[in-house]
Structure 1
Amino acid sequence: MMNRRSLLIGFGAAALGGRQALAAQRGPLVLAAASLQESMNAAADAWARLGHARPVLSFAASSALARQIAAGAAADLFVSADEPWMDDVERRGMIVAGSRANLVGNRLVVVQPASAPAAAAKLPLGRLLANGRVALADPASVPAGRYAQASLTRLGVWQSVAPRVVRGENVRAALALVERGAAEWGVVYATDARASRLVRAVRLLPANSHPPIRYPLARLRAATSSDAEGFRRFLLSGAGKAIFARFGFMAP
C-alpha cells in the first residue's frame, strides 16, 4: 500500500507538472513601457499568427515595472524605455545573462491639442511654451520625463517651464492631459503623438539635447513560459523590428 509520504510526493510532483504545463501553454508575460502599447500588441498578434500562445502584455512606466520586478513579479520579459531602469534590474541579478539587447529608439516632440489653433512652425521654443501648462511624464522617475527635462534644460527653457509642468505617472498619462485639454502643451515621444488623433506634433526636439532614447529588452530570471526566449528573439528579428518601424520607432 502506498504510504502517506509517497502519496504526498506524488501529489507534489503532479502539482509541479501541472504548473510547468500551464507555463508552457500560456504566452510569456511581458512588462513593457507604456509608449509601446500599439507596437507591442501588433508584435504579440504577429507572434500568435505563427502558432504560438499570444503573449500577455502589461504596460506602465518603466520605473513602476522595474519596482514590480524587484518586488518579485513573476514575469518573463521586461522592455524598459531607458537604460537606467534596466540597469537597476540587472544589478539586482534579475535578468538572464546575455539576454539584454537594445530593441528600438525614439525621439521627443512637443504636442498641442489638435483642436487648438496651430502653433507657428518657426516660433522659438521659449516663446512657443511661454504660456500654458506643459504636460510631462514625471521627470523624477519616468524615462520620458527625464528625457524631456534634459532636453528643455539643454535648450534653455526649463526654468521658465518648470512652474507650469503638469506631471503624468507615465508618458501616456501626459499625452492624455494634452488630449483632453488639461494642458496646452506636452513633451512626449514621437510615437505617442503619432498614435493619437487628438494631438498635433508641433516641434521635434533635437536628438542631441537629451541622452539617446533606447529601449532595452531582457529575459527575466523569474521567467516560466517556454516561449519567453522565442518571443524575445522574434522581437529582435528583422520581422519584429519591422513591426516597430511601422509605428514610428527607430533603430536604437
Structure 2
Amino acid sequence: MLKRVLSLLLVLLLFVLAGCTNSGSSSKSEELSAPAEKVELTISAAASLTDALKEIKAAFEKENPNTIVTYTFGSSGRLAKQIEQGAPIDAFLSASKKDMDTLQDKNLIAADTRVDFAANELVLVAPKDSSLHIDSFDKLSPEHIKQLAVGEPESVPAGRYTKETLENIGLWNKLQDKLVLGKDVRQVLTYVESGNADVGVVYASDARISKKVKVLAIAKSEWHKPIVYPGAVTANTQHADQAKAFLKYLASKKGKEILGKYGFK
C-alpha cells in the first residue's frame, strides 16, 4: 500500500516538473518572438529639405523598420532657438553653418556627429508667365520690380545669403522698399508662385520642385558665404544610436542620390 502511494506521488511530481519546464520554455519563446519596440526619431530640418527628406524617410524606414522618423520643418534659425529652449529633438539638419555653430558653442549638439551632407545655390525666380528679363542679380532695379520676396535675414539662412549678395553688389539698401519677408524659404517660394511678389530669392533646390516659377539668374558664389547643410545629433537625445544611423544614411551614396534628385549638390 505504501509503495503504491509513493509511486502515485512520484508520478504527480513528474507532471508538476514537466509543467514548469514547458511554462519556462513558453515564456522564453514568447520573449524571443516579441517584436522590438519601435523608436520615434524627431528631426528638426531646414524647410528647403522638405521634399528630399520625405523620400529619404521612406527609404530609411524601409531599411530600419524599428525606427519611425518624424520631421519638424522651418527656418534653421527658429529651429535652433527651439533646441536652445529644450525642445525634444534628436537631430538637427541646418541650411547654414552659423546656426549649427551656435548650438555647438553651447554644447547642445554632439560635435563628433556633425557632418556636412549637402550644398546649394541661390537663385532669382519669377512666376512662370513673367515677362521680366533679368539675367543677373546685379541687374535687379527698383524701377523694374514691385516686390522682391526674401527670407527674414535674422532667422532664415536663405535670407542671410540674399542680404550678403545684395550688399556685395550694392543693392540691399536700394531695394528696402520692395522687400517682402518670408518666415522660411518655402514661404518665399509661395509668394512668387502666387504672384504676390514679382521676383524672389530661393535655393536652386526649391526652384527645381516648383512648376510655377522659372529661374532668372544664379547668384555668384563669391557674393555670399558657402551654402552648406550640416547635420548633427543633439546632446540631449534619448535615441543617439538611431539618430547617428539616420545621419549616416543621409551622407551615404543612397542619401546623396536622393538629395541630388531634388537639386542639392
TM-score by length of 2: 0.81
- Cα deviation 1:123-163 (Å, max 9, x = unaligned): 96234873210000001221100000101111222222122
Question: Residue 37 of structure 1 corresponds to which residue in structure 2?
Answer: 50
- Aligned residue pairs total 228
Indicate whether 1:91 and 2:105 are aligned.
Answer: yes
Question: Residue 47 of structure 1 corresponds to which residue in structure 2?
Answer: 60
Equivalent AA in structure 2 for residue 241 of structure 1: K
Distance 2:224 2:135 in 1: 22
Shift of 1:120: 5.2
CA pair 223-129 structure 1, distance change in 2 beyond 3 A: farther
CA pair 236-153 structure 1, distance change in 2 beyond 3 A: same
- Cα deviation 1:48-99 (Å, max 9, x = unaligned): 1214333111100001100110010111110111011111111111111301
Indicate whether 1:224 and 2:222 are aligned.
Answer: no
- Look up the SS of the partner of 1:102 in the other structure: strand
- Look up the SS of the partner of 1:227 in the other structure: helix
CA pair 129-172 structure 1, distance change in 2 beyond 3 A: farther
Higher relative contact order (CA 8 A, sep 6+): 1
Equivalent AA in structure 1 for residue 38 of structure 2: Q
Shift of 1:233: 0.8
Structure 2 residue runs of 5 or longer lacking an equivalent are 1-35
- Look up the SS of the partner of 2:116 in the other structure: strand
Distance 1:247 1:115 in 2: 23
Distance 1:40 1:103 in 2: 12
- Look up the SS of the partner of 2:77 in the other structure: helix
The higher radius of gyration belongs to 2
Shift of 1:122: 7.0
- Cα deviation 1:146-190 (Å, max 9, x = unaligned): 000101111222222122100001111111111111110101111
Shift of 1:117: 2.4
Distance 1:72 1:81 in 2: 20
- Look up the SS of the partner of 2:118 in the other structure: strand
CA pair 88-238 structure 1, distance change in 2 beyond 3 A: same
CA pair 61-114 structure 1, distance change in 2 beyond 3 A: same
Distance 1:123 1:150 in 2: 12
Indicate whether 1:76 and 2:117 are aligned.
Answer: no
- Cα deviation 1:17-45 (Å, max 9, x = unaligned): xxxxxx96133111000000001111111
1:47–1:54 Cα contact (<8 Å) kept:
no
Question: Residue 244 of structure 1 corresponds to which residue in structure 2?
Answer: 259
Shift of 1:237: 1.2
- Show the 5 A alignment for 1:73-152: 73-117=87-131, 119=133, 121=135, 125-127=139-141, 130-152=144-166
1:178–1:199 Cα contact (<8 Å) kept:
yes
2:142–2:174 Cα contact (<8 Å) kept:
no
Structure 1 residue runs of 5 or longer lacking an equivalent are 1-22
CA pair 123-158 structure 1, distance change in 2 beyond 3 A: closer
